[in-house]
């Protein structure tokens, strides 16, 4: 089976006249259609808001596209908060969901008016000591522990996750926070990653909705929103059936009607923090075959490496590969597709059936729009690539230039040892 790239060989040939490979390419048309579909899927909830997970794709050009569809920003660090604030995302359009949080990050989040989502019970006193007060609106992250499964399929193991409070801690947190001045509350939970099933969000929603009803009844807290966080995944493999966000939205609506409405909580807003779902399929890594090696295996060396896309090396993650111009040729060659890092796990594919690859062929590595460029690093002195937006009209817009050696050496600018490079 195969995946259809959102870019043609002819377009890549034109783009590479200006921007050499490797680079990450994003599909404006796909991003817009997906954001519109998400908004429509949850339009039944008056207060619904998507807080895009900035960590997935921290590029202001792409975030600004999502803002046109009412999206806010989910931030997990100081620089993500700064980026969001700088491009005009203000106040409660920012959700600060972090863990092991430094005091200065809590202080900055409060300064710009972001909603703070507390990961741990001990953070209540830490936050109060940092700010001198507790914000009137605050959220807490819940971890139910144990195994989370749908039918007989284990989706994830929240009990092993470092995030969130136990149920007992959550109830105590609501009581203590009210005593310290909090007036409005949110509940947040993330129980499974990259689920490719329409059942995940409705099942998570049922857990959180029932929890919210009990919290209100037992603590008297004014619950204003329930944040389903992320976890709605994408089909990295071509034989996987993609999630249907409209089916998911309808599933959450049904549970809302069953649980929240009878409890008199039909004014509670639903929030999401989707990163992978919003951007993943609408980005690809474009690279070129530059070497071939014939030893105990057949290797194709490309000009990208794990610096450009870490997931295969880090997780053994599958990313589909299209050899451009050879989409209809038989996949009768078995290759390891490798980068140039001095690490043996620097491979985009292992024993992958592909068409015969010739030097100079363009390879499109699919589904890198989230947690692709963002997870890059500089091991071996490798430099991060450019990011390019394929506009709806077919033109290409540079939205982040490639790093240069000067960028790499810039943190030595306070010394005189390499003054010609900084």
Contact by Cβ (8 Å): 80, 56: no
The set of residues, in sequence order, having a beta carbon less than 8 Å from that of 38 and lying 6+ positions away, is: 50, 69, 245, 249, 272, 274, 277, 278
**Interval 207-233: pLDDT, tens:** 999 999 999 999 999 999 999 999 999
Per CATH, the number for 27-280 is: 3.20.20.10
Q: What is the helix (H) or strand (E) element at residue 407, kind and residue range?
A: helix 405-409
Partnered with residue 336 across adjacent β-strands are: 299
Rounded to whole angstroms, the Cα distance separating 119 from 196 reads 26
On the question of pLDDT at 150 being above 60, the answer is no
The set of residues, in sequence order, having a beta carbon less than 8 Å from that of 420 and lying 6+ positions away, is: none
From the list 135, 211, 219, 137, the residue with the least C-alpha distance to 175 is 219
Place 152 in a pLDDT band, splitting at 50, 70 and 90.
Answer: very low
Instruction: Kindly report the backbone phi and psi dihedral angles of residue 123, in degrees, each rounded to the nearest multiple of 5, phi listed first.
Output: -70, -15
Instruction: Kindly report the backbone phi and psi dihedral angles of residue 208, in degrees, each rounded to the nearest multiple of 5, phi listed first.
Output: -75, -35
Contact by Cβ (8 Å): 362, 300: no
Q: Which residue has the tokens 């259809």?
A: 4
On the question of pLDDT at 157 being above 80, the answer is no
* pLDDT at 421 (0 to 100): 63
**Interval 58-82: pLDDT, tens:** 999 999 999 999 999 999 999 999 9
Taking the CA atoms of 258, 263, 264 and 266 in sequence, report the sign of the dihedral they define.
negative
Contact by Cβ (8 Å): 227, 274: no
On the question of pLDDT at 109 being above 90, the answer is yes
| Homologous superfamily of the 9-23+281-412 domain (CATH) | Lyase, Ornithine Decarboxylase; Chain A, domain 1 (2.40.37.10)
Which tokens sit at 299?
């290797």
Rounded to whole angstroms, the Cα distance separating 76 from 121 reads 18
List the domain boundaries for the chain.
9-23+281-412, 27-280
Which tokens sit at 189?
């939970």
Which tokens sit at 57?
């794709």
């Amino acid at each position: 089976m195969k995946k259809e790239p959102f870019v043609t060989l002819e377009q890549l040939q034109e783009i590479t006249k200006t921007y050499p490979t490797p680079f990450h390419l994003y599909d404006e048309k796909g991003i817009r259609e997906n954001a519109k579909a998400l908004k429509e899927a949850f339009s039944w909830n008056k207060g619904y808001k998507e807080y895009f997970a900035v960590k997935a794709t921290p590029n202001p050009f792409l975030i600004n596209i999502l803002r046109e569809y009412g999206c806010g920003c989910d931030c997990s660090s100081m620089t993500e908060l700064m980026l969001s604030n700088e491009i005009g995302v203000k106040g409660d359009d920012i959700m600060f969901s972090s863990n092991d949080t430094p005091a200065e990050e809590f202080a900055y989040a409060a300064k710009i008016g972001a909603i703070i989502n507390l990961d741990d019970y001990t953070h209540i006193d830490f936050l109060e000591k940092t700010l001198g007060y507790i914000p009137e609106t605050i959220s807490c992250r819940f971890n139910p522990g144990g195994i989370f499964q749908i039918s007989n399929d284990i989706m994830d193991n929240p009990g092993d996750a470092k995030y969130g409070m136990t149920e007992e801690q959550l109830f105590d947190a609501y009581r203590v926070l009210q005593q310290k001045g909090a007036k409005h509350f949110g509940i947040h939970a993330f129980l499974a990653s990259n689920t490719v099933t329409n059942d995940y969000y409705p099942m998570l929603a049922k857990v959180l909705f029932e929890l919210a009803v009990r919290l209100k009844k037992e603590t008297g807290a004014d619950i204003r929103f329930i944040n389903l966080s992320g976890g709605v995944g994408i089909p990295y493999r071509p034989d996987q059936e993609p999630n249907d966000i409209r089916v998911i939205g309808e599933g959450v609506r049904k549970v809302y009607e069953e649980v929240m409405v009878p409890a008199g909580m039909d004014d509670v807003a639903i929030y999401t923090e989707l990163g992978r779902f919003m951007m993943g399929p609408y980005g690809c890594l474009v690279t070129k075959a530059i070497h071939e090696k014939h030893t105990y295996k057949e290797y194709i060396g490309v000009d990208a490496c794990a610096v450009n896309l870490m997931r295969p090396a880090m997780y053994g993650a599958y990313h589909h590969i299209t050899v451009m111009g050879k989409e209809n040729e038989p996949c009768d060659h078995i290759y390891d597709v490798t980068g140039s890092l001095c690490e043996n796990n620097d491979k985009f594919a292992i024993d992958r059936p592909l068409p015969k690859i010739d030097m100079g062929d363009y390879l499109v590595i699919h589904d890198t729009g989230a947690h692709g460029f963002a997870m890059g690093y500089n091991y071996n002195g490798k430099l991060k690539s450019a990011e390019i937006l394929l506009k709806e009209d077919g033109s290409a817009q540079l939205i982040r230039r490639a790093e240069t050696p000067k960028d790499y050496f810039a943190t030595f600018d306070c010394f005189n040892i390499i003054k010609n490079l900084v």
